[in-house]
Structure 1
Amino acid sequence: MNYQLYSDVMLLCNLPEEGLDAGDIGTVVEQHQVDGLETGYSVEFFDLLENTVAVATLPGSYLRSQEECK
């Protein structure tokens, strides 16, 4: 799936080294394309007070769009 910049996505797996859990919601802030590799995305994750918790660069297979979750 191709995620657009500034779209909300859900994390599909736990990333304890980043302090993130499956189900956390983040915003796509950058797309990374490297020939021969899966498209990657930099995603910014926030807490309920809108403070940044983490910015992680992840393969698209670790993410699901909000629309896919409905």
Structure 2
Amino acid sequence: MYEEYDVVRAIRDINDKVPKGSKGAVLIIHTSTPPQYEVEFIDEEGNTLDVLAVHERDIEKA
């Protein structure tokens, strides 16, 4: 389980903008079953790649 503002990494390609290994920050925790996390993914320069809801199985702590 993650908390707001945790830094995470995508463990698979999420979409065409967010490849495996992209880092992001958890912005919102959706208390669905299973929980989903609204994550802002960024590139190495700090530019936003995408903001989207992902499942716990899609991310790991960075």
Query: Shared fold (TM-score greater than 0.5)?
Result: yes
Structure showing greater radius of gyration is 1
Pick the structure with more strand per residue: 2
Stretches of structure 2 that go unaligned for 5 or more consecutive residues are none
Larger mean Cα displacement after TM superposition, 24-33 or 40-49: 40-49
Q: Distance in 2 between matches of 1:4 and 1:42?
A: 11
- TM-score, length-scaled by structure 1: 0.78
Aligned length: 62
What secondary structure is seen at the aligned counterpart in 2 of 1:61?
Answer: helix
1:14-49 Cα distance to aligned partner (Å, 9 max, x none): 1234x1111111100000012xx2110000011223
Aligned equivalent of 2:45: 49
Partner amino acid, structure 2, of 1:25: K
Runs (4+) of structure 1 moved beyond 6 Å? none
Partner amino acid, structure 2, of 1:10: R
Q: Distance in 1 between matches of 2:51 and 2:24?
A: 9
Q: Distance in 1 between matches of 2:59 and 2:43?
A: 18
Q: CA RMSD in A?
A: 1.2
- TM-score, length-scaled by structure 2: 0.87
Stretches of structure 1 that go unaligned for 5 or more consecutive residues are none
